Amino acid sequence: MKKFLAFCALASVLAGGTAFADKPAQLRFMAGPPGGNWFALGGALADLWTANDQPTTSISGGGVSNIINADRNKGDLGFSNTSMVAVAQKGGCAPFNEPVKNASILANLYTQYTYFIARKDFAEKNGIKTVNDIVAKKIPIRFGTLKTGSGSEFVVNAVFRDGFGIDYRKAIPEWGGSVEYASYSGGADLLADNHLDVFAFSVGKVASIVMQIESQTDVVILGMEQETLDKIGAAIGTTTFTVDPGIYKSVTKDPVKVVGDYTCIVVRSDLDDDVVYNLCKTMYEGQDVLAKAVVDMKELNPKTAVPPAPIITHPGAVKYWQEVSASK
């Protein structure tokens, strides 16, 4: 009988079963571009999980590519934006024309803000106070964002596409401007050296990269009109956040309305439930350590870790976050 059961188990694996494939000896964590919060936090998470008996390697990645690679089992888990995962699971919107089948949420981590940062001299010269002003006036702007495939570029593209009905990659050159793709630090340097007029990206609420930019040159953070923010939200599930005075020296009077979202961890859905449960447990219990790498990790909360339906969260994660929430 034992020989028969062993044979059945072997046959299951050979036939493509996932008895062992969903419990990898080493996890591949897909972080973000060098220079940003995701890259720093990815290393901290990998170290934390490795120190707690789940060997993990952190590699660079992007919000879009991390979903695709998790779905195709080219990575086990990584950072993304919750709205982006929602779009990917639903499908019907480029680059997720077809719904992903093997990518779900491990946790909402912290709020994500999309900043459009303009050189102050450029904004004052052209009478720009919001992103709406740039589009309405068709200003020949030297615009920069992160590379295609990153979470930042996905949201920035949605801002122009769903908020204003244009393809920024075509419209800005038609206005006489240009589009550049750079890393966080590279874009900051281009802005400081007067090679860019506006640099747009998504990052946490209190972001060192914004402070770095402010230390290099005088800038303003451009908001958007509520009607525009509502259009974007209806299309990709984002919300409206405000940047209040006092967080950054470039915001001194009125709050600035920007696109709001969550940084999340996307995980392949066929990863073992117990593995995912323990990843959540180690991460939450090590929250203070992770906050030393990225202060926004202080926002991690079991009550908001699982996004609302119809967004799909991994069952191992749901089990852990529900248990912790019930114990609070």
Q: What is the pLDDT of residues 220-260, one digit of tens each?
A: 999 999 999 999 988 888 889 999 999 999 999 899 999 99
**pLDDT average, residue stretch 43-59:** 97
Q: What is the mean pLDDT of residues 272-283?
A: 97
Whether residue 102 has pLDDT greater than 80: yes
Query: Binning pLDDT at 50, 70 and 90, where does residue 134 land?
Result: very high
Average pLDDT over residues 125-143: 97
**Overall average pLDDT of the 31-50 stretch:** 92
Structural domains of the chain, ranges and CATH numbers in brackets: 27-110+263-327 (3.40.190.10), 112-261 (3.40.190.10)
Question: How far is 234 from 231, CA to CA, in rounded Å?
Answer: 5
The predicted pLDDT at position 259 comes to 97
Confidence of residue 208 (pLDDT cuts 50, 70, 90): confident
Of 37, 114, 24, nearest in space to 77 by CA = 24
Name the burial class of residue 199, with classes exposed (0-12), middle (13-18) and buried (19+) by CB atoms within 10 angstroms of its CB: buried
* Lowest model confidence (mean pLDDT) among 148-162, 210-224, 312-326: 148-162
Query: Cα-atom radius of gyration of the chain, to the nearest Å?
Result: 21
Query: What is the model's pLDDT at position 4?
Result: 35
pLDDT at position 36, please?
78
Each as own residue / partner, the long-range contacts of residues 186-192 (CB below 8 Å, 24 or more positions apart, any chain) are: 186/35, 187/144, 187/145, 187/146, 188/212, 188/213, 188/216, 189/216, 190/144, 191/117, 191/119, 191/144, 191/216, 191/217, 191/219, 192/216, 192/217
Instruction: Supply the pLDDT for residue 204.
Output: 83
- Name the pTM for this structure: 0.75
The mean predicted confidence, pLDDT, of the chain is 90
Record the tokens describing residue 117, joined without a space.
Answer: 């940062």
Cα atoms in the Cβ-side hemisphere of radius 13 Å centred on 295: 5
pLDDT of residue 40: 92
For residue 19, the model assigns a pLDDT of: 34
DSSP bridge pairs for 175: none
Measured over the CA atoms of residue 189, residue 132, residue 108 and residue 92, the dihedral's sign is: negative
E strands, 15-95, are: 27-30, 56-59, 77-81
